[in-house]
A and B are shown apart, each in its own frame.
Chain A
Amino acid sequence: MKMKVNYFVTAAAIAATGFSLTAFQQKPKFDLKASITKGKEVYTAQCMNCHMEQGEGMEGVFPPLAKSDYLMADKKRSIQQVIHGVSGEIKVNGVTYNGDMPGVELTDEEVSDVLNYVRNSWGNKGDAVKPEEVKTAR
């Protein structure tokens, strides 16, 4: 009885995989809005404690993400900084910062989501960061 059920589930799983493979091959349009929504969760867990809820940071201590010239200037740099962290001097909106940010172990998708959130919140507007870009930039 149980074996039959398992067989059925396996068959269903194969069918499902086949379906998603087809879907992948069709390359659906990247859903930026959904990515931003998911990115807010990653931000709250990993970033908000220093960069603050509205991305305002803390002057001289944690650089702002809101309306940040530094953030919006280089997408690839941001990807690498999320993954590997930042240390040493950087200049953001004319203010010098010299702290340590730890890199965080996130999946490609999570990195893409959190960057889409910060790059499209608090007055920022940026094009989408896709998981594939994260994969190449790692």
Chain B
Amino acid sequence: MEAISKNISRRNFIKFSSLTGAALTLGLYSQAAGKEAEIITPEAAENLGIEMNAWITIDTNGKVTITNHRSEMGQGSFQSVPQMIAEELEVNLSDINIVFAQGNNAKYGSQITGGSSTIRGTYKKLLKLSATAREMLIEAAAKKWNVSKAECYAEGGRVIHKPSGKKFHYGELVQEASKLEAPKNVKLKLPEEYKIIRKPLPRQDTPLKTNGSAIFGLDKKLPGMLYAVVERNPRFHGKVKSFDDTETKKVPGVKHVIPVKMSVFNTFREGVAVVADNLWSAMQGRKVLKVEWDDSGFEHLSTEQLYARMSDALKSNNSLSVRTKGDAEVVYQKSENKIEATYETPYESHACMEPLNCVAHYQDDKVEIWGPIQGPDWVQDFLSNLLSLPKEKIIVNMTFLGGGFGRKAFMDYPHEAAVISKEVKAPVQVVWTREDDTTQGPFRPGMMYHCKGSVNANGNIESYIMRTAGQNMDHQWPNADKKSYNGSATEGFLETYLNSLQHYSFSDSPLDVPIPVMWWRSVYASTNAFAMESFMDELAAKAGKDPLDFRRPHLHDGRYHELINKLEEVSGWKNRKKGEGYGVAIAESFSSIVGEVVKVSKKADGKVKIDKVWAVMDCGWYVNPDIIKAQIEGSIIMGLGAAVTHATHFKDGKAVEQNFNTYKMPRITDTPEIEIHIMENDEKAGGVGEPSLPPIAPALTNAIFDLTSKRIRKLPFNLEEV
């Protein structure tokens, strides 16, 4: 056992070498042939070479190491960040090392992997600094050869002197190059010159994820590491009144039972940690732990009560204006061609496949963290405050993340691990069970929407009024102004609709209840779009127009017309057959626009089934079309789950669904055929990981309306019961 734990103890750094496997031999998949992961020691990693900049390190043998400053939670940063850098640096992706950065926003800028921001937030900077490094290497070569820089070019990790054919690899140049003054205003490649960007290149992390060698947070081991599980308050805010650990301490392997407090945004949560020399013992010890809670001083609400409050709020006169134009209410009241509708979306757990966990080693007023973390720099900043340690005494390492979806951007579980490690004076891995992960939140907030609208004689929208009721995530931050409106109330709505409408009003009634809520993939767009695009379909029906044609006069920008035309063409919208229902929804979020069409029909037993989904993504400038396709597929399936298979309910202040037997995830059998198209244009880069999720639920319910004339205004609903 000792030998094994040594072998697996420090897999922070990864390098790759080529592999020729069976597929290559058979000549089937040459382009996608895998590579074999190789682990290098941190000692070697510390000596990776000379830093050209924060992202690019080159050793004297010419080995290039690219640092990924963002987390890899499935969305593909481990491929797309190096893919961008390799293009302008002129290196082959197959010849490089990739390492995860530690938390350090002074060096890398923001590292928070959220808001679909990895590419759109950093591509201009990364392209420029890669091109700059390349130019410096060329200049160093020209100096060595004593030739003009114009006679030299870079390719495949080498600088070549064109007239003579002489070559230097980057390792022979890096020392001189790193001392040169960085040129300003380097010329970046035009998209038509790309050799690596915009190509569907296989991901560098795939081979690690097909043989079990990728190290996730839960796989991190340190010598002498203890394991902790924590019994936390099931109503989130209660305090530990007392606990009885008599039976727990009898469980072999249990070493410590200690009360813990951890910070979750604006609150501290209390619990009792059971720490053992193996995880199973800790879990067994927790089962026989008795904790008495003080749950006074806050409400213990049920789902019914939560939605009743939202419903009351929507009927009241109290709402905060978010965004208005013209005089929507007056126009609406005067209109004879108007409708209204109320929509409801559920609370949800994130349910990442890798439950929350974190390793911390607190020693000598220094703490080192390893875990599945979406924001290593955030963890550093927060722990610095919470533990009263200077930032440089907090080292935060990212492992691979088994899913994130927003949940792993919270700082509670690293804080918990650090606190326990400090207390027991040993490295500790805190592990949340699936039940902890599903029931403890913070959750996607449940929402209610009330929409009113009218259409004019031409069948165009003349007034549009949307009211939102639900918890405001911004109110979860410490010292938040609880009177502030939800700034994301229009998230999901096409920007061009706002330009085209003469009279609109968006307002919000915040709900102040003790249910912890926070970001969930695509955040408010994930629920707003259900109301917005369902209501768009209802307005189209009111106007007696085809849903696509109804939208067209409201698209004041060619980009949207191109998208809707593409959607119409690829889905065969106009050629639908009898017995088929088609529904469309288009949403804009994280600077990307996604349109989806769902086709439904009836099975032999009369129940509705989803036949196919078409998605058209306009994310502007992009890096890897295959990763985009994967993100769209995944977003559609995750969105379908929140529409038809799962929801989190509350009873007496506690989350009801605890594990996958009741929180039912979408499965392969729930997966329709998905066809994806990516728009090619010169727009700025938009997000990719989230924007395809919001349209799927309304596209589905709109399709069901087309097939059955039945409006579904509340999620989730059971497809079997339509």
Contact = CB atoms under 8 A, between A and B. Distances in A.
Touch test A–B (CB under 8 Å): yes
Contact of A103 (B661, B664, B669): B661
Contacts of B669: 45
B709 A10 contact: yes
Contacts of B718: 107
A2 B545 CA distance: 6
B541 A9 contact: no
A20 B662 CA distance: 30
Interface string A1-36: 111001001100100100010000000000000000
Interface of A: 1-3, 6, 9-10, 13, 16, 20, 45, 85, 102-105, 107
A45 B661 contact: no
A104 B544 contact: no
A13 B709 contact: yes
5 contacts: A1-B544, A9-B707, A45-B669, A105-B661, A105-B664
B710 A13 contact: yes
Contacts of A85: 661
B184 interface: no
Nearest to A105: B662
B709 A9 contact: yes
Contacts of A16: 606
Given A45-B667, A45-B669, A104 B709 contact: no
The bracket for how many chain B residues form the interface is 10 to 19
Interface in B667-722: 667, 669, 707-710, 718, 720
Contacts, number: 31
A72 B417 CA distance: 49
A105 B720 CA distance: 14
B659 interface: yes
Contacts of B662: 103, 105
Given A10-B709, A45-B669, A85-B661, 7 more contacts: A2-B546, A9-B707, A13-B710, A102-B661, A103-B661, A104-B661, A105-B662
B659 A102 contact: yes
Contacts of B707: 9
B546 A13 contact: no
A18 to B, nearest CB: 14
A119 B630 CA distance: 42
Contacts of A107: 718, 720
B566 to A, nearest CB: 22
A87 to B, nearest CB: 12
A9 B659 contact: no
B709 A6 contact: yes
Interface string B214-230: 00000000000000000
B661 A2 contact: no
Contacts of B661: 85, 102-105
A28 to B, nearest CB: 13
